[in-house]
Amino acid sequence: MSVITDKQPRTVTRWISGDASPAAHDQQLLRNTLQVVEILTEVEGPEVTRAWFIGMNPQLDDESPAEEIAAGHVRDVLAAARAFVNAGSSVDHRGASLALQGGAHWTA
């Protein structure tokens, strides 16, 4: 969320805890992000959804969806999410492995 809203992680933590409220612009970014998350989590789990948000996306000129939402291109990100979900419905993700930052691995 820090990348999308261009806020420090501490600020986002305060929003989550209820100690502060996001400004109207940030609330809109959060609603847009939630809309994309809801599309993705219809068919994918949280790990794939997180990886999708931070990974380069060919439909977004190899930018990450998180960066594109931050830049105001939410319609493009929504289209990319729908395309991913539609393509994924015919793809078997089992056995796929992804090395994540810090040496952790995700396996579908």
Position of tokens 């959804």? 49
> Given this model, what pLDDT does residue 14 score?
93
Backbone phi and psi for residue 99, each to the nearest 5 degrees, phi listed first: -85, 125
Asked if 79 and 65 count as a contact pair (C-beta separation under 8 A), the reply is: no
The phi and psi torsions of 14 (rounded to 5 degrees) equal: -65, -35
Q: Are strands 105-107 and 97-99 parallel, antiparallel or unpaired?
A: antiparallel
The residues spanned by each domain of the chain are 2-107
d(CA 78, CA 36): 6
- The model's confidence at residue 102, banded by pLDDT at 50, 70 and 90, is very low
Give the model confidence (pLDDT) of 18-41 as tens digits: 999 999 999 999 999 999 999 999
Q: Can you read off the two tokens belonging to residue 2?
A: 């820090």
Residue 45 to residues 20, 73, 88, 93, Cα–Cα distance (Å): 29, 24, 12, 11
pLDDT at 100: 45
pTM passes above 0.85: no
Comparing 13 with 89, the larger pLDDT belongs to: 13
pLDDT score recorded for residue 89: 53
Percentage of residues in the chain with pLDDT exceeding 90?
75
What's the pLDDT at 88?
A: 72
Provide the 3-class DSSP secondary structure of residue 23: coil
Question: Binning pLDDT at 50, 70 and 90, where does residue 90 land?
Answer: very low
